[in-house]
Amino acid sequence: MRNLGSFLAISITLIVFGFESSALAYLDPGTGSMVLQLLLGGIAGAVVILKLYWRRFVGLFRGNAREESERSPSEDQK
Amino acid sequence: MGGVEPLPGSFRDPSGNVYQFEGRIFRTVNHCFSQDFDFVTSTGLFQKLATEGLLLPFEVVSSDVLGLSDPKPQYVLEAPRLPFISYPYEWSFPALKAAALLHLRIQLTSLEVGVTLSDASAYNIQFQGIQPVFIDHLSFRRYQSGEMWTGHRQFCEQFLNPLLLRAFFGIAHNAWYRGTQEGITTGEIRKLLRWRHCLKWNVLTHVVLQDLFQNTSTKRTKSLQDHSLAKASFPLSSFKAMLEKMFHWISQLTPLNKGESTWGDYDRTCSYSSTEIQSKKQFILEFAQTVQPALVWDFGCNTGEYSEAALNGGARNVVGFDFDQGALDSSYRRAVERRLPFQALFMDAANPSPNQGWNGHERESLQSRASADAILALALVHHLAIARNIPLVQVVNWLVMLAPQGVIEFVPKNDPMVQELLSLRQDIFPDYTAEHFMGLLQENAVIIKNEIVSKSGRVLVWFKRT
């Protein structure tokens, strides 16, 4: 459990952060809280990305369907 | 520095200090923080929060008012003086919950205008009746894009974990909180959790994972991790979502009660008849009408029935004290339902809050905060003198010392409630009589009025300190 936690904490720290922010406060926010926030931010970010890809994926079919329906009957008769 | 000294509890934040000077309350804003303070002022946030009653209003006064010269503050703010200062280890569950929700609401509102809170100390909140109000104007600073919720760990320790202690296990936070002063650490609360608690997403993240991440950094990896963390970014949308979810979670928390409260239903189970209750209320009403006290302390306030009578008689504020959680919860409900300026606090009269914290003065003892114009001590004396073996003379002197006037109820030995206290023990209290009590009271006070209010001979005594 301890090793798994350590692995997760370091992985999340190193992988998830992307942009730099250097706001340091007089209060120590605590490593645990910060890694957790990165994890939650990462999950939220992943959900956004998944939603985006899902829309594109669904849009692919919808686009085909729309193309199908938009095709004029006369074209079909040709 | 000039002649005035900052209050002992305001040393942690370098942005400024709090001063009490000629009975007024001032807060200095130091140069190092003036840019942030100017920015927050320019957003209109202070005005908005104060108008909504969420933040204590303030006025910028002359920076020379305190005579401080080294360093001279950039600004000096004056805020209204609150009738009573209380601490989170004295609050009941619903009060701590209301304070937690206020903190989250202010943090969310602040983010809308590019401001954030620099910490999440529960001591930044005070109560006006049941209404929590944020008092620290220097906790607000400019939000920097991508920064994290700096106060999250502190919020969990000072608000969330103490609430979980009662919500999950039915244990009140007060004794533990008073011991640590900073709340309950996430590591401590995690040790108490069962598997079924950990299956909840909020518990898994804010308690289990936070503690796991906090503890699993090895010395070898910590510097690398801390370096990365200091530069890490947290999207604003995630920050807001985290606050909103925390708000929703806390608003759903309720105490786990296992029917252990002795006094929560005292109104129904006490040995009084309704006419006796009425005459007792009438006595308190008349006392309050005559004295018109700005602040009353009601020791052993129970469900707040007689605090309400004092308010009806003209008392402006009542602070009640009791050690029974059920009674405190009932008092809170009464104050909410009837919109009373009444705050019920956890306090054991035989062990009141001491001076404590850094240098023994960071948080003041109850006695140091004794500012009441009057006290009520109804059905309290026998609990101290008989149940706790405190000599009657000491009980009387303590009560008279707390306020210049008040009403004390003496419950005689033949009353069923005292008989119950003596049922399993030897009666070692030969001096516990109404006559002896009156004699002791008259050593330091005059008796304005007294009245027998029950068949068993309970007597209410209206005294005035000499």
CB contacts < 8 A, A to B, total 145
CB-nearest to A5 from B12, B213, B224 is: B213
The pLDDT score that the predictor gives to residue B210 is 94
Other Cβ atoms less than 10 A from the Cβ of B63: the count is 14
- CA of A6: which chain B residue's CA is closest? B216
Token pair for B20: 């009490």
User: Is residue A32, in this structure, part of any structural domain at all?
Assistant: no
For residue A62, the enclosing domain spans: 40-71
Q: For residue A47, which residues of chain B lie inside 8 Å, CB to CB?
A: none
Quote the CA–CA distance of B461 and B400 in Å, as a whole number.
12
The pLDDT score that the predictor gives to residue A76 is 45
In B147-189, DSSP assigns E strands to none
User: Given an 8 Å threshold on Cβ–Cβ distance, is A32 in contact with B149?
Assistant: no
The pLDDT score that the predictor gives to residue A27 is 73
Residue A77: pLDDT above 50? no
Alpha carbons within 13 A on the beta-carbon side of B117: 28
The pLDDT score that the predictor gives to residue B263 is 56
- CA of B146: which chain A residue's CA is closest? A21
User: Is residue A50, in this structure, part of any structural domain at all?
Assistant: yes
User: Is residue A54, in this structure, part of any structural domain at all?
Assistant: yes
The pLDDT score that the predictor gives to residue A4 is 60
User: Is residue A6, in this structure, part of any structural domain at all?
Assistant: no
* pTM: predicted TM-score of the whole model, two decimal places: 0.88
The pLDDT score that the predictor gives to residue B262 is 58
The pLDDT score that the predictor gives to residue B370 is 83
Residue A3: pLDDT above 80? no
User: Is residue A47, in this structure, part of any structural domain at all?
Assistant: yes
Token pair for B133: 């109000």
User: Is residue A62, in this structure, part of any structural domain at all?
Assistant: yes
- CA of A9: which chain B residue's CA is closest? B213
| Tens place of pLDDT per residue across chain B (466 aa) | 446 888 887 777 888 999 999 889 999 999 999 999 999 999 999 999 999 999 999 999 998 888 887 778 999 999 999 999 999 999 999 999 999 999 999 999 999 999 999 999 999 999 998 999 999 999 999 999 999 999 999 999 999 999 999 999 999 999 999 999 999 999 999 999 999 999 999 999 999 999 998 887 555 556 656 667 777 788 999 999 999 999 999 999 999 976 556 555 555 555 567 888 999 999 999 999 999 999 999 999 999 999 999 999 999 999 999 999 999 999 999 999 999 999 999 999 999 999 999 999 899 999 999 889 999 999 999 999 999 999 999 999 999 999 999 999 999 999 999 999 999 888 889 999 999 999 999 999 999 999 999 999 999 999 999 9
The pLDDT score that the predictor gives to residue A41 is 86
Q: For residue B146, which residues of chain A lie inside 8 Å, CB to CB?
A: 19-21, 23
**In degrees, to the nearest 5, what angle opens at C-alpha B388 toward C-alphas B342 and B182?**
55
Beta bridge partners of B186: none
Whether the CB of A10 is below 8 Å from some CB of chain B: the reply is: yes
The single residue listed with the structure tokens 């909140």 is: B125
Contact B322/B342 with Cβ under 8 angstroms? no
CB-nearest to B228 from A3, A6, A17 is: A17
The pLDDT score that the predictor gives to residue B19 is 93
pLDDT tens, residue by residue, A18-50:
444 444 556 778 888 988 998 888 887 777 778
For residue B90, what are the contacts with CB-CB under 8 A and spacing of at least 6? B174, B345, B346, B347, B353
The pLDDT score that the predictor gives to residue A21 is 44
User: Is residue A28, in this structure, part of any structural domain at all?
Assistant: no
User: Given an 8 Å threshold on Cβ–Cβ distance, is B214 in contact with A33?
Assistant: yes
Domain total in chain A = 1
Alpha carbon of A30: minimum distance to chain B alpha carbons (Å) = 6
Q: For residue B217, which residues of chain A lie inside 8 Å, CB to CB?
A: 6, 9-10, 31
User: Is residue A7, in this structure, part of any structural domain at all?
Assistant: no
